[in-house]
Structure 1
Amino acid sequence: MESAPAADPSAGTPLLCRPVALRGTTLRNPIVISPMCQYSAVDGEAGDWHRVHLGRFAMGGAGMVMVEATAVTEQGRITPGDLGLWDDRQIPGLRGIAAMLTALGAVPGIQLGHAGRKAASQRPWQGHGPLGAADAARGEPPWPVVGPSPLPVADGWQLPAELDRAGLAALVEAWRGAATRALEAGFEVVELHCAHGYLLHQFLSPLANRRTDGYGGDLAGRCRFPLEVAAAVRAVWPADRPMFVRISATDWIDGGWTIEDSVAFSRDLRDLGVDVIDCSSGGMTGVSATAAAIPRHPGFQVPFAGRIRREAGIATMAVGLILDGRQAEAILRDGQANLVAIGREALADPNWPLHARQQLCGGGFDGWPEQAGWWLARRARALDRRPD
């Protein structure tokens, strides 16, 4: 008689508290810190700000910490303060960050992007507009921008030069080179930025892409260049390491990119060996990364992750106003996504993952860094002993 299968010791454990395996990489939990631009690099190089900013999330218990949008060319920076991986000199600073994140128990990830027609902009706290004379006077002049078509992002912004075939081929090589440098720096996960109105999203959306040369027109034409870039990155990224792609699941604009387009694009990415679709939205109009005139409520983008997971047959990551552990757990339990990404909530509370673990799993300060956990456990005992 066959013996009964062994009981799964994690069966009663909330999903938010369980490890997640992706290829040869295991996250200690399905909580990912979203890439959040800090606009604080010098010549594309990471510094002390980036180490402290990212390290606190690893100490806070996240399963993976994703480094912000990192430019694959100097021209592809959003602002003069963007991180870059277009040059070998940018590797050491990021190598130190990847090693630190790993030592603190988080999987290090990095997002690679190009701003396209949204490049050469001011930092948000300096106006968020196109770089101009006042910026040049302080040593940050504008630079020429490119795009799929000669359409500016908004009135008053530069007219982008339309990329020709040679320019497209050079950018494929730039992404390949940046991915190779990311690997040398020690990152476990690479994410391709195809969202928020930046270059690859500009190719996808008919609102920004008016080409007639095979890289525009119908859905297949508009997806062609982003898929070429994805294939190039997957080719140099080791088979045992995961690759993500962040998309804007919809432009939220009539005549723009739609959720149906996203499902079809995600199937193509799956077939190229992409592992996870990171489901954001918006950003095609206006300079803000996620600009869209739509009502926002907790989990407003989660249905996109659910639909892509079901219809494209690929793992997804949900992002956008995920506020607490119970909400995140419900997203995972309902099968809407495999991972949850936290951004601004983590800025407000870098220990969000640890607090979510306490909320769902109890355990006091188990799992907190020893250097902090013993203090907090001692404080908790003292508070419990207070007279009523």
Structure 2
Amino acid sequence: MNTRGPIAAGSPAFRRINRAMAFGGFSVFALLYCVQPLMPLLARDFSLTPAQSSLALSVSTATLAVALLASGFLAERIGRKQIMTASMLGGALLTLGCAFAADYTQLVGLRVLLGLVLGGLPAVAMAYLSDEIEGSSLGLSMGMYISGSAFGGMSGRVLSSVISDYSSWRVAVGVLGVAGLYAAWEFARSLPPSRHAGRESAPGPGLRAGLRTHLADAGLPWLFVLSFLLMGCFVSLYNYISYRLLGAPFGLSQSAVGTVSLLYLLGIFSAMWAGKLADRLGRRNVLWLVLGVMLAGLLVTLHDSVPAVVLGTGLATFGFFASHSVASSWVGRRARAPQALASGIYLFCYYLGSSVVGWFTGYVWEHWAWPGVVAVLGALLALAMAIALRLRSLAPISS
């Protein structure tokens, strides 16, 4: 095992790692979420309800959630860089295949496989950063990775919306697949091999023992539940804000609705800002505050004016990425071996929330429109706030 110390912010290795992770975060989230603003188009082309069209996204996040558990465990044995690179390459190829899907069943099938393949990066990336980066720089590094994810999610949504407005959703998805191939190449050439290769190949705790260890911890199970609630609320917000803005009283175009995803730029800033703030003040003192910002933004979207909806969505986006940055780095600091499994469980719950809550709120939208969606998401975020306040009582070592 390499015995060199952890990598500090500002070093050449730190810059290489963050460059690679920026491409990794971009690729996974651009490919995963490029169909989100296309849901109204899929509903029109394939004669679907809003809940049915949401399956194009929900099935991917569901299978990704399952894959995360296995990928985090396997990466400890066969190599983190190899798993992550293969994940990005496979995801790009499957996205290209989606552009040529003959019908909606085939499209959903390809998106099922896409989720399985993309599961090879997020949990492994979190574990890689937790092992390689020194503790005092981990919040910043995790925030930069999440910023890359935010940029990817934004780019995928905006590009697919604009291209589909002038061409078709198939062309839009194909362009994102090509971008994914380039991102995979940049990732492979930029990321240094793990300096803990010996740890990755060592026997270590088994899957069952690792699960028992993490679930017996005083704080980790609460962070896992929090991730379910956070992502479920955030994806639901963006899933159905498109329907809200396309319909009365707004009547915006597909391109205009897609540009709402530019608010992800706030997430790029807030993830890094919250990561640095948590490194300085402690995660227990930051998490509940940024969750409050997300809840406040959600409530503002109830107003029937475009500026209010945009402002509220921006506040919710800021609060979400800040919360996710703090919570995910807290898992990295608190978890013991197998650390990648802890990251995998966190992200399993994260994407499970995306699938379950994102799908369920489709039915809420159909029956009670936007006020019903806000009521459900507001209740879930209130529960998340209660969990964040409970986490303040954890021992100082985990803060």
TM-score (norm 1): 0.28
Structure showing greater relative contact order (alpha-carbon pairs closer than 8 Å, 6 or more residues apart): 2
TM-score (norm 2): 0.27
Q: Compare the two structures and name the one with the higher strand fraction.
A: 1
Structure label with greater radius of gyration: 1
Q: Compare the two structures and name the one with the higher helix fraction.
A: 2
